[in-house]
Amino acid sequence: MGLRSFLYLLPEAWRTWLKRPSTVRYPFGPLELPPGFRGRVVIEPDNCRGCSLCVRDCPADALELQRVSRDEFRLIFHPERCAYCGQCELSCNFGAITLSNDFVRATTDRDTLTEILVDRKPEPESEA
Amino acid sequence: MTHSLETILEALQATFPALSLDTRAMLTDETVISVPGDVLTEVVGELIESFDFYHLTTITGLDTGEGLVLLYHFWNIHGLTLYVALPYTEARVPTLTELIPGVAMYEREIHEMLGVDFTGLETSAPFLLPDDWDDTLPLRKQAVESEDEV
Amino acid sequence: MKSDKMIIPIGPQHPLLKEPIAFTLTVEGERVMEAGMRMGYVHRGIERLAQERSYVQTIHLVERVCGICSHVHATTYCQGVEALLGLEIPPRAQYLRALLCELERIHSHLLWLGVLGKNLGLDTIFMYAWRDREIVLDIMEDLSGGRVSHAINVIGGVRSDVDEAHCDEILRQLDLLTEPLARLVGLVEHERTLKARTQNVGHLSLEQIRRYCVVGPVARASGLDVDLRRDMPKAPYTDLSFKVITHTAGDVWARTLVRMQEAVESVRLCREILAQLPDGPISVKAKRRVPPGEVVSRAEAPRGELIYYIRSDGSEKPARLKIRTPTLTTLITLPEQLREVNMADVPAVLSGVDLCIACADR
Amino acid sequence: MQTAFTLLIFPGLGFIVLCAWLFDWLDRRIIARFQGRVGPPWYQPVADFIKLLAKEDILSTGINPALSTALPVLSLASVLTVSLYIPVARTAPVSFEGDLIVVLFLLSIPALAYFLAGWISGGVYGILGANRSLLQYFSYEVPFLMALSGPAILGNSWRIAQIAQQQVGTTWNLALQPLGFILAVVGLIGKLKRDPLDIPKAKSEVVGGSLTEYSGRKLALWHLAMDMQTVLGIFLLINLFLGGTSASPLWGGLGFVLKALGIVLLLSTASVLYARLRIDQLANLGWRVLAPLALMQLAATIWMGG
């Protein structure tokens, strides 16, 4: 018992030496992400009805709806505030807003990140 | 569970007539006893010695608009909460640090957040708030209104 | 020696501490005479913030109380709100929640073992513990989409489901985990230098544990046989059989053993949960307004008993949210544990209690 | 010209510095592979050195600037002079009877400079690190010296070159004195403050130890001195215990490299396997275990060899 407890870690260390290192080579190698990974917010503009359910439920106030009239509104997204919790995806009943797999690109200036997700203009009335 | 809750309630009622067994509904297995502030230490002493309710989970400080309320949550397989109502003007309660040394942290936090004065508690150093905190009490109701007006 | 008494700051930033908290040790020679503590560096006022957010938003706020045990916070909170709403969530959701709670316990204990090893100078155990922990993180990421903050809870149940193939995949990964975990437990039991650094260090007697109301593995290592999963069982734990691990030595080594054996027990529990996973829906529609009332919701977080007090006044926002995390009870005992301790033992004592400062400060 | 070459290039400055960086990289790489990591690229030690040179050299108030700069330079100088006495390619630039004593003395100067550096820094961690380095010095130095004087007695000469010469062809001192070799390795780990015994510079206890206040060029010098001390410690052990460089040019050089790699592997494995000891545990280990063993070893060699 005496000697074995002195060199207790040796067998494990030797086994690890023979195996491939378990560190991921990112960013030099690919990083596998599961399908359900909550990354960047992505919008399906046509589905959006401007009901602002997502804006109300967003814990980080990252979504903002500027409404001019029933058919003219803009959904603005601030990625730097977003906590990637996926609540907007959950609250939206029309499946307009979802979270994709890629993560936000880094930037030095916060304002360049702000995105206009939906810029709905009322369709011009065809008949007079 | 050596003593069932009922026996405890009767025994406490016997020794402390001022106690009203406020069985206000507190969900998931909690029994509430409202206790006047001045007799608090004796009740807690009684609870610890004879009924083995030594485990004080925490003290919740509340600002109900009419006054301050302290909830002493005890636990021994079942939850038992002591409900101590305090008027705004005279929010003073004896400290329990002799009985339960660990309670100092909870009391310092409530003192800082709600302004309840625990007699006998050494509260010079701030507990969670920064050193240069102007002593507005964050968890007080009027702290909320003042923010809405602005 | 210039002056025999020296004040040593183990300041907000220190290699020993993973999160900001300030200890000031007055040391005489190599012996710590007295320890002062200053908290509040990561105090974000979560209880105050919760009063300005709707119940749905508070789930994500409450998940960020602690970086390591975020799921158990969200679960306790949701159970409290569901009790207020008088909502009975489907059994499948209860099982999925319990599964993630147990996975998070394994992940928290393995993370802590690495931190203990790092602080005691044994970097190898840090690398091995965190390498084996990756398996658990991968399972959780597949399950909920997030390695650490899972956001799988909604009021009324759970968000994402697990199909048959995914269950087998999780079982396969759990098998992958059993063998390295057994090796880590063996390491903690036998490695001579690790035992030399952790045995009879930072001792807490059962009497001190009861006097300071300490909870969790630290209390169980001193012989207190309390575990909320068994003593106050909520839905899935009522029909899950598991053993509460206690020791009597009450020092850092006993705490290491308790945590590692708990991790092994949790792996077995996860298998049992997956085996008995009932079918059916995973969530129930919940109203946004919560009828007035009060609730005290307790759960067994990786570090011990966690309590949520929620008071609702009928509106969409909680009137008062009180959180008391288990680390606060172990923090209280630190000045007592650090007294009369050799200066070189301070890392072992501070790591032994598994401090989660973000939890304690809220 | 010849002396300039030996001084500046081969067994002198150039070779030792290159070896220091090579051994440092090897050490980190071996530890990384043992821990399931990839480990740093080959140019990491050089990059660290250059980065430190470029970093700002902050001088905290209350530290005597002259003394604080003199200490790293002093320890670097003493380590460099040691490289003159240790034979690498069979002959040492300078070799005389009793150079083993000089080498042992020069090797302990950096330890004392390290203590002084912590002491004058005045900071809490500096003083703590300084005390610990002194405590550690006393617990490993005695067994280390006794273990190293074993081969000297066997070869009944205090000239490193001669001790090495006697072992060529015949049995190495390692075979004759295995216990002495182990004690020497443990003493070397203590002297170099390597992982199981890095008590004076334990990050989690005393942050940077004596070097907490150092930064920039001076810190670069300290690290270089310590790395070179590792290299020279290994070369010393090779000469005393593993028979130095043997006759044939090819086999001698290659053999030397293999022996050096062997000892590096030994040191890296030690730092992978063990947690850091407490200072009182090290003192107990030193005086209750290592010193008696070294005494026994010494008595045996005197009775057998002398």
Q: For C187-238, what is each residue's pLDDT tens digit?
A: 999 888 889 899 988 889 999 998 899 999 999 999 999 998 988 888 788 8
Do at least 3 CB pairs under 8 Å connect D with C? Answer: yes
Number of domains forming the structure of chain D:
1
Nearest to D124 among C8, C127, C346 (CB): C8
- Output the pLDDT for position A127: 54
Report pLDDT digits (tens) over D80-121.
999 888 888 767 778 888 889 999 999 999 999 999 999 998
Under an 8 A CB cutoff, do A34 and C142 touch? yes
Weakest mean pLDDT among B16-20, B133-137, D200-204: B16-20
- Chain A residues whose CB is inside 8 A of the D272 CB are 9, 13
Label the pairing between strands B78-86 and B30-34.
parallel
Under an 8 A CB cutoff, do C298 and B75 touch? yes
CB of A128 within 8 Å of a chain D CB? The answer is: no
Phi, psi angle pair for A119, to nearest 5°: -125, 80
Q: CB within 8 A of C75, min separation 6: which ones? A: C97, C100, C101, C153, C299
Say how far apart CA D207 and CA D201 lie, in whole Å: 7
Do at least 3 CB pairs under 8 Å connect B with D? Answer: no
The reported pTM is 0.91
Whether B127 has a pLDDT exceeding 50, the answer reads yes
Query: What is the average per-residue pLDDT within D57-74?
Result: 89
Under an 8 A CB cutoff, do C332 and B105 touch? yes
- Chain C residues whose CB is inside 8 A of the A85 CB are 60, 63, 149, 151
Whether A82 has a pLDDT exceeding 80, the answer reads yes
Do at least 3 CB pairs under 8 Å connect D with A? Answer: yes
- Output the pLDDT for position C1: 46
Confidence of residue D27 (pLDDT cuts 50, 70, 90): very high
Token code pair at residue D219: 């810190």
Please, is D8 exposed, middle or buried when counting C-beta atoms within 10 Å of its C-beta (0-12, 13-18, 19+)? exposed
The separation between CA C248 and the C-alpha centre of its own chain, rounded to angstroms, equals 21
Q: What percent of chain D has pLDDT over 90?
A: 43
> Per the domain annotation, does D257 fall within a domain?
yes
Nearest to D204 among C7, C16, C196 (CB): C16
Q: If you count residue pairs, one on C and one on D, with CB atoms under 8 Å apart, how many are there?
A: 75
Report pLDDT digits (tens) over D3-23.
777 777 777 788 899 999 999
Residues from D contacting A (CB-CB < 8 Å) are 32-38, 269, 272-273
Weakest mean pLDDT among B45-59, B134-148, C71-85, C303-317: B134-148
- Give me the residues of chain C with pLDDT under 50, please: 1
Report pLDDT digits (tens) over D128-183.
889 889 999 999 999 999 999 888 888 888 888 888 888 877 777 778 888 999 99
Token code pair at residue D261: 């790699």
Query: Testing the interface with C: which of D28, D121, D136, D278 to mutate, by most C Cβ within 10 A?
Result: D278
SS3 per-residue string spanning chain C: CCCCEEEEEECCCCCCCCCCCEEEEEEECCEEEEEEEECCCCCCCHHHHHCCCCHHHHHHHHCCCCCCCHHHHHHHHHHHHHHHHCCCCCHHHHHHHHHHHHHHHHHHHHHHHHHHHHHCCCHHHHHHHHHHHHHHHHHHHHHHCCCCCCCCEECCEECCCCCHHHHHHHHHHHHHHHHHHHHHHHHHHHCHHHHHHHCCCCCCCHHHHHHCCCCHHHHHHCCCCCCHHHHCCCHHHHCCCCCCCCCCCCCHHHHHHHHHHHHHHHHHHHHHHHHCCCCCCCECCCCCCCCCEEEEEEEEECCEEEEEEEEECCCCCEEEEEEECCHHHHHHHHHHHHCCEEHHHHHHHHHHCCCCHHHHHC
> Per the domain annotation, does D40 fall within a domain?
no
Q: CB within 8 A of B135, min separation 6: which ones? A: none
> Per the domain annotation, does D156 fall within a domain?
yes
Q: Which of D182, D203, D180, D179 is nearest to D193 (CA)?
A: D203
Query: What is the average per-residue pLDDT within B89-107?
Result: 88
Whether B150 has a pLDDT exceeding 80, the answer reads no
The residue ranking higher by pLDDT, D306 or B116, is: B116
Dihedral (CA of A87, A89, A90, A91) sign: positive
Please, is C285 exposed, middle or buried when counting C-beta atoms within 10 Å of its C-beta (0-12, 13-18, 19+)? exposed
Residues in chain D, total: 306
Token code pair at residue B82: 């002591």
CB of B81 within 8 Å of a chain C CB? The answer is: yes
Report pLDDT digits (tens) over C153-191.
999 999 888 889 999 999 999 999 999 999 999 999 988
Range of the domain at D102: 48-305
The residue ranking higher by pLDDT, C246 or B10, is: C246
First vs last Cα of chain D: how many Å apart?
A: 41
- Chain C residues whose CB is inside 8 A of the D204 CB are 15-16, 118-121, 347
**Single-letter amino acid code for the residue at D96:** F
- Output the pLDDT for position D247: 66
> Per the domain annotation, does D15 fall within a domain?
no
- On average, the pLDDT of chain B sits at 82
Task: Report domain extents, chain A.
Answer: 38-120
Q: What percent of chain D has pLDDT over 70?
A: 97
- Chain A residues whose CB is inside 8 A of the C96 CB are none
Q: How far is A89 from chain D, CA to nearest CA, in Å?
A: 38
> Per the domain annotation, does D284 fall within a domain?
yes
The partner residues of A75 in beta bridges, in order of sequence, read: A65, A118
- On the question of a cis peptide bond just before residue A27, with omega within 30 degrees of 0, the verdict is yes
Q: A38-120 maps to which CATH number?
A: 3.30.70.3270
Say how far apart CA C259 and CA D305 lie, in whole Å: 55
> Per the domain annotation, does D19 fall within a domain?
no
> Per the domain annotation, does D10 fall within a domain?
no
Nearest to D275 among C14, C15, C194 (CB): C194
Q: How far is A65 from chain D, CA to nearest CA, in Å?
A: 48
Residues from A contacting C (CB-CB < 8 Å) are 4-6, 8-9, 12-13, 16, 22, 34, 36-38, 56-60, 83-87, 90-91, 99
- Output the pLDDT for position B28: 74
Q: How far is D35 from chain A, CA to nearest CA, in Å?
A: 7
**In contact, B42 and B50? CB cutoff 8 Å:** no
Continuous segment of H or E residues that includes residue B117:
strand B117-119
- Output the pLDDT for position B23: 64
Q: Which of C296, C332, C327 is nearest to C311 (CA)?
A: C296
- Output the pLDDT for position B149: 36
Q: What is the DSSP string of D52-115?
A: HHHS-----TTS-HHHHHHHHHHHHHHHHHHHHHS-SSSS-SS--TTHHHHHHHHHHHHHHHHH
- Delineate the domains of chain C, giving CATH numbers in brackets: 43-354 (1.10.645.10)
Q: How far is B18 from chain C, CA to nearest CA, in Å?
A: 24
Q: In 3-state terms, what secondary structure has residue B88?
A: coil
Token look-up 């513990």 returns C129
